[in-house]
Amino acid sequence: MLARRAAYAASTAFRRSATCQWRTLSSYSGDNVTYSGGQEGTQGGFYGSGGARSKAAPNLHHRPEAVASQEDIERLKAVMEDVMGMESELAKANSLNARTIEIKGNLKKTLSSPAMMELLNRLEIQSEPVWGLTQKERDLVRSARRKVNTC
């Protein structure tokens, strides 16, 4: 019986020392628990994110010209109404006379004016309408650009 107690005491002591040793090793790890095999600061987050949670690069630029101005849209609508009026007058005219020549001149002058070019440049970025326009307004900008290019 004494031998059994001694064996039990020895095995219990071994288990206790192993537990203490395990706790001692776990206390060295601190609060830096990582699931991806590295430090969170260098990888951008946990769970193998590979930088998915890292901060965005500071190379973002604010581009106010990418959004349409309401005044520009109203101005373009007014100009295009005038242009459509002149085109309908030209379509009604049967013969070439002084009035049709005058209308054609006014049409070309309106479409090729520096103000019209500047207006279209503000409403387009890389040959596409800027953001913030309805589909109807986008079509108006494209139509105006086609008319200016064919003028």
* Residue 101 in domain: yes
* Residue 93 in domain: yes
- Structure tokens that stand for 8 in this block: 């039990």
* Residue 106 in domain: yes
* Residue 61 in domain: no
Distance CA 105, CA 101 (A): 6
Q: What pLDDT score does 95 carry?
A: 86
* Residue 78 in domain: yes
* DSSP type of residue 124: E
Give me the domain span that covers residue 95: 66-150
Q: What pLDDT score does 132 carry?
A: 85
The string of pLDDT tens digits covering residues 10-43 is: 666 555 555 555 555 555 555 555 555 555 555 5
Distance CA 146, CA 72 (A): 18
Neighbours of 90 (CB within 10 A): 13
Q: DSSP labels for 67-94?
A: B--HHHHHHHHHHHHHHHHHHHHHHH--
The string of pLDDT tens digits covering residues 45-98 is: 555 555 555 565 666 666 666 788 899 999 999 999 999 999 999 999 888 899
Q: Do residues 131 and 73 touch, judged by C-beta distance below 8 A?
A: no
Q: What pLDDT score does 87 carry?
A: 94
pTM reported for the whole predicted model = 0.57
